[in-house]
Amino acid sequence: MPDWTNLRIALAIGVAWLVCAAIFMSASQIGGSVILLWVPNGIWIGALFLLDYRRWPLANLALYVAAVALNLFVGMPPVMAAGIAASNLVEGLVAAALAKKIARRKRLEVLSLTDMMKFTGAAFLGALASGLVALTVRPDDVTWLTFGWWVASVMLGTLNVTPLVLYAWRRINAPRATRSGHWAPERSGSLWLITLILFATSLVVLYQTNLNLLFVPMAITMYAVVRHGHIGASAGVLAFAIAAAVVSFGGNPPAAFIRIEPYAAGFLLQIYMLVLVASSMPLAALLTSSDLLAQRLFRRNQHLRRNVNLLNMAENLAGIARWQYYPRTGREEWSRELVAIVGPPKPGSGAKTAQRFSDLNAFTFYDELEGHRDTREQFNIRFDIEAPGYPLRTLAMRAMNEFDTDGTLLRTVGVVRDVTEEIQVVRSLAAERAKAEQAAAKAQQIALTDELTGLPNRRCTMQELNRCLARAIATGENLSIIMFDVDNFKLVNDRYGHNVGDAVLRRLSDLSRVRARERDLVGRTGGEEFVWILPDTSCSTAYRAAERLREVVAEESGGTLPDITVSAGVACWVKGEDVNSLLERADQALYQAKELGRNQVRRAA
């Protein structure tokens, strides 16, 4: 689908260039006028400057078609028409591309002096490229004079018409009315009125035979520069060029005081116009810099005013106050906010309004302040105050010392806040955090502890076993486990009841806990079944530990509790074995002990 927006823009630019070029070519070829400044070129470059690079191809195609059509219409041969159109295309591409790089998102009509000089170079390169292309298609008709006239007219068109096009475009898209609160220059006067005056004056001067009057257009142009900057100079040069074209209409010289061939006289006036442009550049750049500086200062003042207002609002909302101290006299200056923070004396207290922190028994404040007497960086002080009729409060100050050139302390400036509530909140949060941590630790302990026996539950036991196995795999150390349970525990529950059965499990847990080493873990894994984990322990040592436990249970059971015995299975980890395999072998050893008569320890195969 075609891009109709780009197509419409390209057609509009092509038509605008064609109309303007037709007018000036008619004035030159039919009316015999000397064209000192090629206006269509400036219009074309201004259009390219405004367009995005992506729209250049269609715009250039439209210009080329319009230029070829116009050249053919005025009677040029096809080859020459195409070549002259190509020269128009080249001059626009070179100058517009360089101008875009020079401007760097700035307006072309408000460039600095350095950028103006660069833009002048870009205009010259574009004009020179155009002249060289035209020279290739008309080598027999071109002389040094006509070549110089061509380059000068194209260069003057770029330097003066292009900024006017951009200025007009900006004024059309940005209304003249200045919005409230925005900076506007104080210079008065209408650009168009000055341009008309300059045009009329130039007509009068160019019709005169007195060369001495040529300074008058220059003086008015400088006045236009003072009023309107670089745009004033461009408008002045354009008005002078149009006046010269009017004077030369009918084949006359463009100036009555130059009695030579019209194009030669025109070339001399072009040199005058280039001198006029060069003379106005420094003044225009100076005024532009002054305007930009005024704008920056205006914006900074506006920004500063907003910041001051925001600072005052922030102080009121945040309860921040200012304090100043002069050590030579001992005088303190309190802001209204600080007086409000401290609070007025309570009715009936007999106290006066505080003017110093010493009036509030804040003596530690002055001790800390003295300790920072030689501090060059910002520092913090926190202190308590005792205002009559008010509870004890805490203030926080961030202060900075100011010294003279001799290093003598002149004053101390501080920002003060009442942090009493903040401290209370912090203390409350710390207390709540401690409670939460204790509750979390207790919940964690409950989650990993068997409620009946107080031993680690199955989850905790399996976590520890996995950890010990991982360490054994990493270091190659021994790992043994003992799986044991109560013999005929079901009979105990059936004969004596579950309460007695629970007491038996608790007694067995106490006995096994006492026999375990500090690094060992004994856990209840379910019902009457227990697992004893023995890190860095050989199989024989684990077997002896299981035997001692079996013997102690057999000897110490009885009394108020039924007689019980335990059976145990011992398994030692072998390389390549996982937790499930290790537990399975211990369980098989325990089952074997049961099968062989109970009350014994068996070692896993």
Give per-residue pLDDT as tens, 44-77.
Answer: 777 777 777 787 787 778 777 887 887 788 778 8
DSSP letters spanning 519-570: T-EEEEEETTEEEEEEET--HHHHHHHHHHHHHHHHHH--TTS----EEEEE
**Total number of residues shown for the chain:** 605
pLDDT category at 447 given cuts 50, 70, 90 is confident
What's the rounded Cα separation, in Å, for the pair 545 and 529? 17
Statement: residue 101 has pLDDT above 80: no
pTM above 0.75, yes or no: no
Q: Residue 150 in contact with residue 137, Cβ under 8 Å?
A: no
Q: Residue 353 in contact with residue 343, Cβ under 8 Å?
A: no
Q: Residue 370 in contact with residue 399, Cβ under 8 Å?
A: no
3-state SS string for 317-352 = HHCEEEEEEECCCCEEEECHHHHHHHCCCCCCCCCC
Half-sphere exposure for 351 (CA within 13 Å, toward CB): 18
What domains lie within the chain, and their CATH numbers? 4-172+189-297 (no CATH), 319-423 (3.30.450.20), 448-603 (3.30.70.270)
Question: How confident is the model over 162-189, as a mean pLDDT?
Answer: 59
Statement: residue 262 has pLDDT above 70: yes
Q: Give the containing element (helix H, strand E) for 39.
A: helix 39-50
Residues 6+ away with beta carbon under 8 Å from 452: 502, 505, 506, 524
Helix-strand-coil percent breakdown of the chain, rounded to 5? 65, 10, 25
pLDDT given for residue 179 in this prediction: 41
What's the rounded Cα separation, in Å, for the pair 74 and 323? 84
Residues of the chain above pLDDT 90, percent: 22
**Backbone angles phi and psi of 471, in degrees to 5:** -70, -40
Question: How confident is the model over 463-482, as a mean pLDDT?
Answer: 94
**Backbone angles phi and psi of 33, in degrees to 5:** -70, 150
Q: Give the containing element (helix H, strand E) for 480.
A: strand 479-486
Q: Residue 508 in contact with residue 455, Cβ under 8 Å?
A: no
pLDDT category at 186 given cuts 50, 70, 90 is very low
Closest CA to 531 of 597, 458, 449: 458
List, by residue number, the catalytic residues. Answer: 528
Statement: residue 334 has pLDDT above 80: yes
Question: How confident is the model over 93-107, as a mean pLDDT?
Answer: 71
Q: Which amino acid is at 108?
A: L
- 3-state DSSP assignment of residue 64: helix
Task: Please measure the distance between the N-terminal and C-terminal CA atoms of the chain and give it in whole angstroms.
Answer: 84
Of the two residues 262 and 413, the one the predictor is more confident about is 413
pLDDT category at 109 given cuts 50, 70, 90 is low
DSSP letters spanning 123-169: HHHHHHHHHHHHHHH-TTT--HHHHHHHHHHHHHIIIIIHHHHHHHH
pLDDT category at 318 given cuts 50, 70, 90 is low
